[in-house]
A and B are shown apart, each in its own frame.
Chain A
Amino acid sequence: MKQKKFHILLAFGLFAAMYSCQKEDYLLFEGQTRVQFGPPLSLYKEKAYTFRDTLKPATFYYYPEDKIKDTVYFDIYTMGNLSKNKRKYKLEQFNLSGEENAVPGKHFISFDDPSMTESYIIQPDSVHARVPIVIIRDPELKNKSVNLGIRLVNSDDFGLGETSMLWRKLIITDHLTKPVAWNKTMTDYYLGQYSTRKHQFLVETTAKKWDQDFITELSSSLDLMDYYMSIVATALADYNRQHPQNPLKDENGELITFPY
């Protein structure tokens, strides 16, 4: 009897398990045009890059002090019919819990600011647009980073696309930050552990930004990667030879090295 009960329970359990997870339904075209974020246009057809640019850092570090605003772009795509008219989409900021959130008017120009609303438009006969986010150089960004959560909301012209493609995160700073492309492979084989001083040293010795775009470019051009790594490793060797008592260290007092 006990065994029979067990088998019944097991059957219920398996049945429940089978139906407890369900794949999220695809959004099928039902007449409503929709909008969602996506990777840069050049990578749109590359499956591996679907979530490229979900998180993007932006820094004023490389610019002269008198540059107080900059524009960062994301990419947006429509689904459904084309239109002969301009179509508006809407953005709103959402709070990122546990992070210091960007303040409208202080760190970025609010999406509903009259100067911006006309920027959030899909041009006639177009399915793609670049989404401008205007960031502001606040003095406090020299010492900290703020995070801007951006999401799409319904507008008169567009419904919303796939849930996972409706948001973006922008990190705004006025100092160097570790680019996402400085990943484990970069750390293990080329650049070593990240530090702000090491990042500064890379910029100083090559006059390159060593930001997300530059490191991504190097990742796909190993001849260039070898070239720049040779430049920085040689510059580091020269610095340490010229400063035998004070070799280059990072902000934590650790010796700066490259595994290359």
Chain B
Amino acid sequence: MNKILCYIIAGISFYSCAKDKGNYSYGLSEDILITGFQDQYNLISLQDTLSISPQVSSNKDGDFEYTWGVIENLAAGKINTFDTIAHTKDLSFPIKLDANEWILVFQAKNIKTGYSQYKTAKLSVNTVSTRGWYILKDNDKDSDLDVFLTPNDISATSRIDNVLSSSSGNKMPGKAINMSFSSTYQSNVADPAVFTNTRALLVATDNDIRAININNLRTIRDHSSFFINGSQPIEGPTGIFNGNTSIYLFNQGLLYNINTVNQNKGQFGNKIRIDFNNTTYSLSPYFVVRPNMDPILFDNLSATFVTLVAGNGATMTKLNQVQDNDLPVAGSNKTPIYMGYKSTGTASKLQGYAVLQDNSDASNRSLYFLEKDKLNLSLKRVSLETGSKVQGASMFTLLTEDENLLYFVSNNSLYSKNLSNGNEQLQYTVPAGERVTFIKHLKYTLSSDAAYNFNYFIIGTKSGADYKVRMFKKSSGNLESSPSQTLEGNGTAKGILYISPKINTNTFINSY
């Protein structure tokens, strides 16, 4: 027995050491160089072809084989897979990928040596609908969207008319009110069994509301399916906007919300009560809101400023009066003809302005600075000098988080009012024959999309059956003498947004 064991151990020992033959390679390692390759490519799906002719060289004798592939980038919760798209050196790849951020991978392998070199590039794929200026317009009866493509920079190069009705089959009934973008709207368009965040355009007219899939501009929900308890008529005052953890809807002066923190099916629930007695109310269509802050809302019936705490719950909360307020938060004799967001004050206070009209004298207007600190609302009157053009103005907007100016339209001309010193100044006179249909300050400052950044004051006008949307740069709050670009189309322009693959719910402030 011991002998057998000895043989086994000897056998193992015999094979456990191998002779070092010293046959190492001391030659130069292979260095494969790939050039002719950009760091990033921006392409439009179903329209562009990605063409790359890389140069591949090696310091060794080589016979190369090539592989091109794409990997989906930033796909949280997904297992990324490598899709091979070509085995040629030169790539000619008609883009049919989904709108998304991708990584393009190129591999050159020297089959003589077995060595490979890789090169990657960012591949930003858009559809015609995922990057461009969106104009919300109507013809007094129905509403639709036009898209102006911006393939190179923020300048529009071409226009696609009526993209909503083209993709969804019909226009939205009613006059256009407003639109906002949400990246947290939940739908099951990707998988019928699962509701997940969907990049969607939320649009309100005075007769319809829609959630529109930005990737294909198909309607996800309209007024017939937007409510848990079935179809509901949409009637004024209406409006839709994003706020703290919620998508808010005004319909018939009542407030509805979708809490985007909770799992949901992208539907509004029951109306939010204004108090625990379910008192009748009718909200003003104007609001002050910014991401992560509860909105300032106003009930026209009780003249009360209210909010919805944490964007949640079944009952609004009346805001608290602050000592030395120039106006009571409840029970005044005033009605807003404008409210809007201005900025975030110190310690994350929500600041805005309101133009209020006296209920007993419609020609008597006053301007107030609003500052909400948690549930406390400070209301400070801003003096309007005798003869102020604010008294007869028809449209208002604020320079959000920029110069301390209120812009307004009076007699079809655009004026600014300096909110610090009261100075009013003519900024732009609309050409004869045109009528102003909306004004808006919009800026886009995402550093990850720097080539497309802008800070424009935008004026929409109508002449005959057509619209013009002029975009002005500004200097110290004053408009440059001529617009940077003008978009033109058919219909009455009522609103504008810039859509890109980089934006999310919080990119643009929701405000009139």
Contacts and interface: CB of A to CB of B under 8 A. Distances in A.
A25 B314 CA distance: 52
A230 B269 contact: yes
Given A222-B262, A223-B264, A260 B269 contact: no
A227 B228 contact: yes
A226 B356 CA distance: 34
B314 A223 contact: no
Interface string B270-289: 11110011100000000000
Contacts of B262: 222-223, 226
Contacts of B397: none
A233 B276 CA distance: 8
B265 A234 contact: no
A230 B270 contact: yes
Contact of B276 (A221, A224, A226, A237): A237
B198 to A, nearest CB: 15
A223 B278 contact: no
B220 to A, nearest CB: 16
A234 B279 CA distance: 10
Contact of A223 (B259, B272, B277, B315): B259
- The binding surface of chain B is classed by DSSP as loop
Given A227-B228, A227-B269, A237-B273, A221 B278 contact: no
Contacts of B129: none
B228 to A, nearest CB: 5
Contacts of A227: 228-229, 269-270
B287 to A, nearest CB: 21
A238 interface: yes
Contacts of A226: 259, 262, 269, 312, 314
A139 to B, nearest CB: 37
A195 B273 CA distance: 25
- The binding surface of chain A is classed by DSSP as helix
A14 interface: no
Contacts of A260: 313-314
A165 to B, nearest CB: 31
Indicate the member of A223, A231, A238, A240 with the most B CB atoms within 10 Å.
A223
Contact of B278 (A222, A224, A229, A238): A238
B277 A241 contact: yes
A238 B276 CA distance: 9
A233 B272 CA distance: 11
Nearest to A224: B228
B126 to A, nearest CB: 32
A188 to B, nearest CB: 15
B314 A230 contact: yes
Given A233-B314, A234-B278, A237-B278, A223 B228 contact: yes
Contacts of A231: 270
Contacts of B471: none
B55 interface: no
A223 B263 contact: yes
Contacts of A229: 314
Nearest to B258: A223
A238 B313 CA distance: 18
Nearest to A231: B270
Contacts of A230: 269-273, 314
A237 B274 CA distance: 11
B278 A241 contact: yes
Given A223-B267, A226-B269, A227-B270, A234 B259 contact: no
Interface in B222-277: 228-229, 258-259, 262-265, 267, 269-273, 276-277
Contact of B263 (A221, A233, A238, A241): A221
B228 A234 contact: no
A239 to B, nearest CB: 10
A223 B247 CA distance: 13
Interface in A208-255: 221-224, 226-227, 229-231, 233-234, 237-238, 240-241
Contacts of B263: 221-223
Contacts of A221: 263
Nearest to A227: B269
A182 to B, nearest CB: 19
A221 B262 CA distance: 8
Contacts of B272: 230
A234 B278 CA distance: 6
A234 B280 CA distance: 12
Contacts of B273: 230, 233-234, 237
Contacts of B313: 260
B275 to A, nearest CB: 8
A229 B228 CA distance: 13
Contacts of A238: 278
A229 B272 CA distance: 11
Contacts of B276: 237
A170 B265 CA distance: 35
Nearest to B312: A226
A224 B264 CA distance: 8
A240 B229 CA distance: 24
6 contacts: A222-B263, A223-B228, A226-B312, A230-B272, A234-B271, A260-B314
Interface of A: 221-224, 226-227, 229-231, 233-234, 237-238, 240-241, 260
